[in-house]
Amino acid sequence: MYNNIERRHFLKLLGSGLAVAAFSVPLISFAKGLTGKGGWTSKEADFYVAVDGNDDFTGTTAEHRANSKTGPFASVKRARDAVRELKKKQPNKNIVVLIRGGMYQLDETVTFGVEDSAADNFTITYAAFPGEKPVFSSGRHITGWEKAPSNTPGLPANAKGQVWQASIKDGFTTLYDEIGRLPRTRTDGFVTKKKGKKNLISFPEKMFIDWVNPNDAEVIVRPHHAWIVNILPVKSMNKSKRTATTTQDSTYAMNKLHFLPTTENAWIENVIEELNEPGNWVVDTKAGKVYLWPRNNAQAADLNANIVTPELIELFRVEGDIDETGLKDIPVKNLRFNGLTFKHGKRWTVEKDDKGLQHDWDFHDRASALVRFRGTEYCTVEHCHFTDSSSGAIRVDLHGQYNQINNNHIEKLGGAGVLIAGYGPGIKNVSHHNVVYNNHIHHIGEIYNHSQGVLLWQSGENRVANNLIHNLDYIALTISGFMTHFFDKNPKGRELCRTVRRNEIPKAKGRQYTLEEVRPYLHSVNNVLENNELHHVMEKLADGNAIYIRGAGAGNVIRRNYIHNMLGDTAMQAAIRTDGGQMDTLISENVIYKCRSQGIKLKLNNRAENNIIVDILKANHNGKPMPVTFFSLREGPMTGGSLKNNIMYSTAECDFINEQKMNGEKTQDRRGRAPANSKDADTENNIYYCSVNEKLGQDFLIKQQADGVDLNSLATNPLFVDVNNGDLRLNSNSPALKLGFKPIDMTNIGLVI
């Protein structure tokens, strides 16, 4: 219906209609991967860098002048040093370095320190030369390819004569060609046993495990829980017992999945016996070889030019003077990166002393992204492209204030999009007031499937707005911190516990810490997630959401987000979720359309107000169809919470509000959590409507009013303009408007093109 006009123009037209409220939802997203207008426009600069430059040149011109040393530098590192010298002469100056197009091969991380800061009210910018595309890569070309002998040990029969080999000195975990990341060999998936261990995995009886070289293999496993993927190198194998030990522990014991016991949750990668189709590859460090079955004959003819393996996790790092145990850091200030492309970063692997964030979704203060800010203020990454890399795109660690991550395109990554992570719980609260705006993030978490579009951890008063995030295996946006019961756990535990600054936190007054005791140390407060468009997330994993919050402090706001087409076939998901123990969160003016299983999962005193939820889709759980619900209430009491001025519209049988059924129990689970009931919250002025069975809403409303809530709510058609085609504007005579529903202006949601 709307395919022939641009999304923004379409919304403008809808907003101008006199007969309808100023609210509009297109059926599909019309953004085309654009990340906002901008980029550097002036060709004037203090220094220039070019692939055909020379670090012995002056760096002051964009092109080399014949028979002279006047010309561009060859490296950003040399330009950085020249900027340092210029600053000594002219400290109060905006300085610009323009980087010409081409591929810049990095063999070491480009680092910036406190000495690279600009003075207050000035900036130092490293930008793409107008109209050109500088690309930074740590990909090392693998050359010397030749046909692999047919008698190569372990080579499958169908691969003989198809596979090429090259000599290598060291192993690696990812490989790229001109198209993108090449898939590594893997076995079929299997279900782990019930009583697994964190460093021991058992193989099914019928699974082939007589591999020629298991020492280069890695275990990929979802250990016990559906929300995490671990990658664990094999340390040793006991083939008679059909087990393997791993070099590092998994996050949880390698049991079958809780709640999904028949789901395959593990497989093995990097064994030559599985090299059985085009595009696959395997490393054998014992033989000193990498083996590749090219994607096609054309690729086979040009392997030396196109096959690379990344050698660096971080390509750029901006790092202040960090005092990890003290209270004062000296940040780098006022650096800007504009219009640059980063690719071919190395995959990180968990190490012994790593400190996990929630569920080990990422790790505290470690390398896991192409560009890393570690101790920065007023620094910016804008109009950059992050692609074809094995870890994440951008992270802001420890001390991070007033930084901006704007107008970037982030895609085809093994890890996360953007991570902002402060210090662990304690009195050092120096991560806040950052902005993540107008970024297009998609197809990330392709290796670590649990990786998220934007994750805020122990960081407050940030704004995450107008991002388009789609095609993720797990969560799009997360606000996370530190769950209260983890303060009482073993301080050596990897997940969360190692991050606590225990010398700064008084001992618990009783046997266990209470929320009120730890609140001062929960720094994820007053964050705003707004105007984001999220779709096709939760495509592979389970027990997740489009937007998730847990372990955060008070005052977080989730508003005016458009969440649609969450189609992953799992009942263990919701569009928005406040999880165990989370309180004091406002969820308002969101539009949820065609999402599976649950609309909003609400707990305790959190508030859901003025949201529209349309057509929650049926889901399967362990092969059985499950009921769908608009609001799922878990964990009470809900005193101080609210469910009001929400519109719920369904074209199929549904539960409008699902409350856990109690059979005389005082608590809802073994943790002693109280049941959650809408009658304990401010539940009022809602609309409940099922178009195929209007009595469903009417009966539900009778029940609610018997409980003393929803006294003014209605079970009636809210009168959308054209719900069947996704036009969810409200007609001017909509009963929702009479109940006080505030129209939602969708013209400002999603990318600002």
Residue 5's pLDDT band (boundaries 50, 70, 90)? Answer: very low
* Residue 194 pLDDT: 79
Count CB neighbours of 84 within 10 A. 13
Alpha helices in 499-561 (DSSP H): 515-518
Q: CA–CA separation, 447 vs 115, rounded Å? A: 36
Q: What is the 3-state secondary structure (H, E, C) of 675-724?
A: CCCHHHCEEECCEEEECCCHHHHHHHHHHHHHCCCCCCCECCCCCEEEHH
Average pLDDT over residues 536-559: 98
Phi/psi of residue 480, each to 5°? -135, 165
Burial of 61 (0-12, 13-18, 19+ CB in 10 A): middle
Residue reference for tokens 């009470």:
636
Residue reference for tokens 């012995």:
56
Q: Look up residue 616 and give its DSSP letter.
A: P
Residue 19's pLDDT band (boundaries 50, 70, 90)? Answer: very low
* Residue 446 pLDDT: 98
Q: CA–CA separation, 534 vs 591, rounded Å? A: 10
Q: CA–CA separation, 657 vs 632, rounded Å? A: 6
Q: CA–CA separation, 316 vs 310, rounded Å? A: 14
Residue 267: what residue type? W
Count CB neighbours of 733 within 10 A. 9
Helix (H) or strand (E) holding 306: helix 303-306
Q: Residues 512-523: pLDDT tens digits?
A: 999 999 999 999
Residues with Cβ < 8 Å from 581, sequence gap 6 or more? 483, 484, 485, 515, 550, 551, 603, 604, 635
Residue 295: what residue type? R
Residue 32's pLDDT band (boundaries 50, 70, 90)? Answer: very low
State the Rg of the chain over Cα.
27
Q: Look up residue 674 and give its DSSP letter.
A: B
CA 624 to centroid of chain Cα atoms: 30
* Residue 672 pLDDT: 73
Burial 325-355 (b: 16+ CB within 10 A, else e): eeeebebbbbbbbbbbbbbbbbbbebeeebb
Q: Residues 185-194: pLDDT tens digits?
A: 999 999 998 7
Which has more pLDDT, 36 or 102?
Answer: 102
Q: Residues 48-64: pLDDT tens digits?
A: 999 999 999 999 999 99
Residues with Cβ < 8 Å from 301, sequence gap 6 or more? none
Q: CA–CA separation, 459 vs 528, rounded Å? A: 12
- Nearest CA to 164 out of 21, 291, 59, 259 is that of 291
Do 251 and 228 meet the contact criterion of CB atoms below 8 Å apart? yes
Do 320 and 375 meet the contact criterion of CB atoms below 8 Å apart? yes
Q: Residues 136-192: pLDDT tens digits?
A: 999 999 999 999 999 999 999 999 999 999 999 999 999 999 999 999 999 999 999
Residue 166 is encoded by which pair of tokens? 């090259």
Residues with Cβ < 8 Å from 187, sequence gap 6 or more? 207, 208, 267, 268, 269, 271, 274
Do 583 and 550 meet the contact criterion of CB atoms below 8 Å apart? no
pTM for this predicted structure: 0.95
Average pLDDT over residues 455-481: 98
Question: Using CA of residue 727, residue 733, residue 738, residue 743, what is the dihedral sign?
Answer: positive
Average pLDDT over residues 682-692: 97
- Nearest CA to 611 out of 547, 544, 554, 562 is that of 562
Burial of 195 (0-12, 13-18, 19+ CB in 10 A): exposed
CA 80 to centroid of chain Cα atoms: 31
Q: CA–CA separation, 409 vs 386, rounded Å? A: 6
The two beta strands, 230-238 and 243-246, are antiparallel
CA 574 to centroid of chain Cα atoms: 16
Burial 224-263 (b: 16+ CB within 10 A, else e): bbbbbbbbbbbeebeeeeebbebbbbbbbbbbbbeebeee
* Residue 663 pLDDT: 63
Q: CA–CA separation, 416 vs 455, rounded Å? A: 8
* Residue 18 pLDDT: 28
Do 101 and 129 meet the contact criterion of CB atoms below 8 Å apart? yes
* Residue 15 pLDDT: 39
Asked if pLDDT for residue 17 goes beyond 90, the answer is: no
Average pLDDT over residues 704-720: 98
Strand partners, 588: 559, 609
Ranges 289-303, 400-414, 450-464: which has the least confidence: 289-303
* Residue 627 pLDDT: 85
Residue 16's pLDDT band (boundaries 50, 70, 90)? Answer: very low
Q: CA–CA separation, 530 vs 523, rounded Å? A: 19
Count CB neighbours of 588 within 10 A. 20
* Residue 753 pLDDT: 81
Question: In this prediction, what percent of the chain has a pLDDT beyond 90?
Answer: 89
* Residue 661 pLDDT: 76
Question: Using CA of residue 609, residue 614, residue 619, residue 624, what is the dihedral sign?
Answer: positive
Asked if pLDDT for residue 673 goes beyond 90, the answer is: no
Average pLDDT over residues 85-89: 97
Residue reference for tokens 């064994």:
271
Average pLDDT over residues 544-563: 98
CA 548 to centroid of chain Cα atoms: 11
The two beta strands, 380-382 and 332-333, are unpaired
